[in-house]
Copies of this chain bind each other. A is one copy, B any other.
Amino acid sequence: MEKHIVLLPGDGIGPEVTKAAKKVLQAVADRYQHSFTFESHDIGGVAIDQQGTPLPEDTVKAAKKADAIFLGAVGGPKWDQLPGHMRPEKGLLGIRKQLGLFANLRPVKAFPQLLHASPLKQEVVAASDLLIVRELTGGLYFGQPSERRNGGKEVVDTLAYERSEIERIVDQAFKSARVRRKQLTSVDKANVLESSRMWREVVEEKSKEYPDVLVEHMLVDAAAMKLVTNPAYFDVLVTENMFGDILSDEASVLTGSLGMLPSASLNEHGVGLYEPVHGSAPDIAGQNKANPLASILSVAMMLKHSFGMEEEAEQVEAAVHEVLDEGYHTSDIDLVGGIQVSGSGLATKVVDQ
């Protein structure tokens, strides 16, 4: 197959982990006789520095034509004092909106090798294997008005959804649940928010199309508790943008493997932006220390979700497990009796599997 991939290395350790992702994609192309072409563009802080805006036009144009996009990371203290519209995050929010990347998929799975680094007791967290499906282009993040009023005496933000926006994310979540353990937890605040009541109705309606999936509703405060007390309880959790932001980050630290977590943000045509969950880690940038495994697992998600390459995706995931089993790791991880290597060294180990 021929696929065109846009790389957005971004800031901090972004370029390093993007290099690792590209290396793995090239190895997959070689081994399975695909042809992957690449082009790189600026986003975030580096785009502000080079082109005066966090999301240059040519980046958007290229992304719109790509079969898939890989993003390293954006942001860093260097740009923290800039005004709102000139912040690196605006690049990320902008590309999500412009490409219609409404479905953010964040799997969290315990790696047995890394459980000792979890803040949770081993018996609480060991069986965890959940997927958070977060709505990514609606809600409080984009609703209007979002402004000061009355001479600065008041402020409003708006949590707005179209019913169709709720329908498509809920549908995506049911589809995800169907190929997993068939359990869907829909998280809302229906005892307070009108938008949550609509959300609940849509889930009830959609559930008729997926009679094989077991659905339940959970309030967001209860979900925030349950993620800590019993993360293994969840299979697929679906929720709106802001709740998803909070809960997916809460979930990301449960298993002690934040440096290992991938993500995908998909649009209606299956085009996706793939990105490691960890940030730009400016403190270790440029030192070849960054853990490339979250990026490599994001590549596996790309192969599966945007290219339909199930076997290739499984191969990449297996290779990651293999290097961990062999004890190789970067300095962010502490594997008893393991062998510490550089970021690029670890990527090479994965490719050599």
Contact = CB atoms under 8 A, between A and B. Distances in A.
Report the copy number of this chain in the oligomer.
2
Interface string A214-230: 00000011101101111
A163 B153 CA distance: 5
Interface in A227-270: 227-230, 242-243, 245-250, 252-254
Contact of A148 (B118, B194, B228): B194
Contacts of A84: 191, 197
Interface stretch (A4-12, A28-36, A42-50, A138-146): A138-146
B225 A194 contact: no
Contacts of A224: 224, 246-247, 249-250
Interface stretch (A19-27, A119-127, A172-180, A341-349): A119-127
A336 interface: no
A156 B195 contact: yes
Interface residues of A, number: 56
Interface in A153-192: 153-164, 189, 191-192
A309 interface: no
B119 A228 contact: yes
A87 B191 contact: yes
A147 interface: yes
Contacts of A89: 191-192
Contact of A198 (B155, B242, B249): B155
Contacts of A156: 143, 158-161, 194-195
Contacts of A339: none
Contacts of A227: 250
Contact of A192 (B93, B160, B195): B93
Contact of A222 (B163, B198, B229, B249): B249
A193 interface: yes
A152 interface: yes
A163 B150 CA distance: 10
A83 B228 CA distance: 31
19 contacts: A119-B121, A119-B229, A120-B228, A140-B192, A140-B193, A153-B162, A154-B161, A155-B160, A156-B194, A158-B158, A220-B246, A221-B245, A221-B246, A222-B249, A224-B247, A224-B249, A225-B253, A228-B254, A243-B246
Interface of A: 84, 87, 89, 93, 118-121, 124, 140-141, 143, 146-148, 152-164, 189, 191-195, 197-198, 220-222, 224-225, 227-230, 242-243, 245-250, 252-254
A-B pairs, 8 with minimum CB distance: A221-B249, A224-B250, A157-B159, A155-B198, A119-B124, A225-B253, A146-B194, A155-B195
